[in-house]
Amino acid sequence: MRALVTGASGFAGTHLVRHLAASGWKVEAFRGDIRRPDSVRRFRGDAVFHLAAKSNPGQSLVNPAETFEVNALGTLRLLRALGGFKGRVLVVSSGELYRMSRRRHAETDPLLPRNPYAMSKLVAEEIARAYDCLDVVIARPFNHTGPGQKPPYVCPSFARQVRTKSLIKVGQLGSIRDFTDVRDVVRAYRLLAEKGRRGATYNIASGKGRPIREILDTLIRLSGRPIRVVVDRTLVRPPDFMLGDASLLRRHTGWQPEIPFATTMADLLTSPGQ
């Protein structure tokens, strides 16, 4: 099997390239700006994994135009460049599209993107669906973390502070999110390329909600360091809740998350750059 990966140098992309190679795939990384993807016309293979994106919701508020150019326009130009490609195209979207809720979201639930990042991913999804001449599958991963992830995302931000500080100032710790190890997520990408249904959309999620406080407590326990945690009222925001239901992914591919949460946190804590 031969794959082309966009966003191959990013957090998830790096893990995907490694996983595909270990699974016997031959991998080619897209080089360059996804807004100018003409080089993909020459690709001949079995699957394209489209991960290239501006993926920070907070930064999308600062520069929404660039976020839309990369995430939406980049997807449009990639699919146009692929033309008559006969293999599978996996377009990576986001669980950020759903509205905040304490219940697990299924793929058929209403969508309520809350920032330019999520909106750009919704537009990218609609573009992908419009290209029904291609064998497209859409993945909606919820929060994922693991070795190699960098701040400002919450897990690596906590990991860096736990490694270097004796006092940590925090804001809202009551928010609940659905975290999956990035290595389980990229395994789901491969399975969707191999077994997903053409035109379908799949959540990738553990289905288990974890308070942000649990992440910090786990990292502190694993570090073995005495660390004082202080709430800074200027950092406090209203809590939010986001959980995913990956039942469809399990039914169609047999995927299950395999890496325990404590292992993810331990690997994150000791990974280079933390």
- pLDDT value for 237: 84
Q: Give the pLDDT mean for 244-252.
A: 98
In terms of residues, how long is the chain? 274
Which tens digit of pLDDT belongs to each residue from 209-247?
999 999 999 999 999 999 999 988 888 888 999 999 999
Q: Give the pLDDT mean for 146-162.
A: 95
- pLDDT value for 271: 87
Q: Give the pLDDT mean for 252-271.
A: 97
CA separation for the pair 223, 94 (Å, rounded): 31
Q: Give the pLDDT mean for 84-108.
A: 96
- pLDDT value for 135: 98
- pLDDT value for 273: 62
In the predicted structure, residue 57 carries a pLDDT above the cut 80:
yes
CA separation for the pair 150, 141 (Å, rounded): 18
In the predicted structure, residue 133 carries a pLDDT above the cut 80:
yes
Q: Where do the domains of the chain lie, and which CATH numbers do they carry?
A: 2-147+181-207+243-258 (3.40.50.720)
- pLDDT value for 172: 86
Residue 48 backbone phi and psi in degrees, to 5:
-115, 125
Which tens digit of pLDDT belongs to each residue from 164-211?
999 999 988 999 999 999 999 999 999 999 999 999 999 999 999 999
Q: Give the pLDDT mean for 81-103.
A: 96
- Give me the chain's average pLDDT, please: 96
In the predicted structure, residue 274 carries a pLDDT above the cut 70:
no
- pLDDT value for 33: 96
Q: DSSP per residue over the chain, as a string?
A: -EEEEETTTSHHHHHHHHHHHHTT-EEEE--S-TTS-GGGGG--SSEEEE--S---HHHHHH-HHHHHIIIIIHHHHHHHHHTT--SEEEEE--GGGBPP-SSEEPTTS-B---SHHHHHHHHHHHHHHH-TTSEEEEEEE--EE-TT--TTSHHHHHHHHHHH-SEEEE-----EEE-EEHHHHHHHHHHHHHHPPTT-EEEE--S-EEEHHHHHHHHHHHHT---EEEE-GGG-----EEEE--HHHHHHH-----S-HHHHHHHHHHSTT-
Which tens digit of pLDDT belongs to each residue from 11-46?
999 999 999 999 999 999 999 999 999 999 999 999
In the predicted structure, residue 48 carries a pLDDT above the cut 80:
yes
Q: What percent of the chain has pLDDT over 90?
A: 93
